[in-house]
C-alpha cells in the first residue's frame, strides 16, 4: 500500500515538472532512487583529515563531493550513532542543504548574518564553521518546539558566535546585518528521495499558502537590508510558485538585484522564465535550480539577492 502511494506521489511530481526540467526521463528515474546519507565535517571540533581517518576505520564507503571539501556521502544509514556525531565532529546534513552557505560570496569572520528560519541549525552551524566561530550569527525560528533541536546542535558542534531568537521573522524588529539567509518553510517536494513525510496530496492552494509565508519572510528581510547587503533565499521544493514567483514579487516590490551563483563543480539549472500563465523578469534566470539527476542529490532552489 505504501509503495503504491509512493509511486503515485513521485509520478505526480514527475508529471508536474516535466515541462521545466531539462531531462524528464532522468528526473523521473532519479526521484525514484533512494538517496545516500550525507554529512558535513565540523572543523571546529578537530582536524578534518583526522576525523575522516577515524570515520574510515569502520566506514570504507565514505566519498567526498567534488564541490565542497567538507561534504561527504556514505552508504551507512545510521551515522547518528557514531562517536564522531556524538562529539560534534560531524553533522548529518543533506548535500543540497549545504549549498546556500556556499552560494554566499564572502562569508568571513567580520560578518553579521541573520538566519531567519534557522532550526534545526544545519546552515547556521555550517556558517559558524565557515566564519571560524567568529563574527556574529542570529539564528531565529518561530517555533519554540524547534529551538530545542537548534540549541542542541549549536551546543554539540561547539558554536559560540550565535544568538538564538524566537520570532516570526515577518515581525522581526529592525536588525542590521550583512547577510540575511531565508531558507523558507516550503512544500519540501525536493526531499522526495529521502523523506516519506512530505504531504502526499498537495493541492494548488497549498503552494499558494507556502508562497504567501515565503513572500512575507523574504519581504521582511529585504525591508531590513541596507544597500549592498545580501539576501539568500532558498527552498527544497521544485514548485515555481514557491521559488521564481516569490523572488519575482520581491524584484517588483523592492530595490534589489539578483547576483549570479557559482559553486565550482556543481551542476545547476537556471531559474525558469515562465510558469503557467505567469512570465517572470529576465533576471530570474540568475536563480539556480538543483535538480536531483544533476548531482545525485535532493532538489533545491537558491537565489542570491542584493539590496540596491
- Binding residues for S-adenosyl-L-methionine are 117-123, 141, 183
Which of 12, 26, 32, 44 is close enough to bind another protein by CB under 8 A? 44
**62 lies in the binding site for another protein (CB under 8 A):** no
What is the nearest approach in angstroms of another protein to the Cβ of residue 3? 28
What is the distance of C-alpha 17 from the center of its chain? 20
The Cα 245–Cα 49 span in angstroms is: 43
Torsions phi, psi for 94 (to 5 deg)? -65, 145
Which of 82, 126, 191, 237 is close enough to bind another protein by CB under 8 A? 82
Site for another protein in 133-162 (CB under 8 A): 133-136, 138, 147, 151-152, 154-156, 158-162
The Cα 213–Cα 76 span in angstroms is: 36
The Cα 156–Cα 112 span in angstroms is: 22
**79 lies in the binding site for another protein (CB under 8 A):** yes
**8 lies in the binding site for another protein (CB under 8 A):** no
Q: Which is nearer to another protein, 15 or 109 (CB)?
A: 109
CB 228 within 8 A of CB 256: no
CB 72 within 8 A of CB 41: yes
Residue from 73, 146, 84 nearest 115 by CA: 146
Q: Summarize the annotated binding site as residue ranges.
A: 117-123, 141, 183
**167 lies in the binding site for another protein (CB under 8 A):** yes
**260 lies in the binding site for another protein (CB under 8 A):** no
The Cα 185–Cα 169 span in angstroms is: 12
Which of 11, 166, 262, 279 is close enough to bind another protein by CB under 8 A? 166
Q: Which is nearer to another protein, 87 or 259 (CB)?
A: 87
Characterize the bridge pairing of strands 71-74 and 63-64: antiparallel
Characterize the bridge pairing of strands 71-74 and 278-279: unpaired
Residues of this chain that bind another protein (CB under 8 A): 44-46, 54, 58-59, 76, 78-79, 81-84, 86-89, 133-136, 138, 147, 151-152, 154-156, 158-167, 173-175
Amino acid at each position: 500500500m505504501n509503495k503504491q502511494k509512493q509511486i503515485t506521489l513521485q509520478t505526480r511530481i514527475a508529471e508536474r515538472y516535466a515541462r521545466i526540467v531539462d531531462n524528464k526521463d532522468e528526473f523521473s528515474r532519479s526521484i525514484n532512487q533512494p538517496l545516500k546519507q550525507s554529512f558535513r565535517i565540523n572543523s571546529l571540533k578537530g582536524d578534518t583529515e583526522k576525523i575522516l581517518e577515524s570515520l574510515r576505520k569502520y566506514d570504507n564507503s565514505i566519498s567526498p563531493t567534488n564541490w565542497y571539501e567538507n561534504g561527504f556521502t556514505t552508504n551507512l544509514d545510521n551515522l547518528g550513532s557514531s562517536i564522531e556525531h556524538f562529539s560534534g565532529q560531524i553533522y548529518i546534513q543533506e548535500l543540497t542543504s549545504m549549498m546556500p552557505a556556499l552560494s554566499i560570496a564572502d562569508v568571513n569572520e567580520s560578518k553579521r548574518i541573520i538566519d531567519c528560519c534557522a532550526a534545526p541549525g544545519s546552515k547556521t552551524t555550517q556558517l559558524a564553521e565557515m566564519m571560524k566561530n567568529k563574527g556574529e550569527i542570529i539564528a531565529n525560528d518561530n517555533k519554540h518546539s524547534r529551538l530545542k533541536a537548534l540549541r542542541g546542535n549549536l551546543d554539540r558542534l561547539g558554536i559560540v558566535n550565535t544568538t538564538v531568537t524566537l520570532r516570526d521573522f515577518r515581525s522581526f524588529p529592525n536588525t542590521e546585518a550583512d547577510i540575511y539567509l531565508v531558507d523558507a518553510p516550503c512544500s519540501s517536494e525536493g526531499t522526495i528521495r529521502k523523506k516519506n513525510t512530505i504531504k502526499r496530496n498537495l493541492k494548488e492552494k497549498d503552494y499558494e499558502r507556502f508562497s504567501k509565508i515565503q513572500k512575507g519572510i523574504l519581504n521582511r528581510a529585504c525591508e531590513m537590508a541596507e544597500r549592498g547587503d545580501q539576501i539568500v533565499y532558498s527552498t527544497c521544493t521544485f514548485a515555481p510558485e514557491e521559488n521564481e514567483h516569490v523572488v519575482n514579487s520581491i524584484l517588483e516590490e523592492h530595490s534589489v538585484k539578483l547576483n549570479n551563483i557559482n559553486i565550482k563543480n556543481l551542476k545547476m539549472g537556471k531559474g525558469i522564465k515562465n510558469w503557467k500563465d505567469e512570465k517572470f523578469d529576465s533576471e530570474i534566470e540568475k536563480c539556480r535550480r538543483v535538480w536531483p539527476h544533476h548531482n545525485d542529490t535532493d532538489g533545491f532552489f537558491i537565489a542570491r539577492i542584493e539590496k540596491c
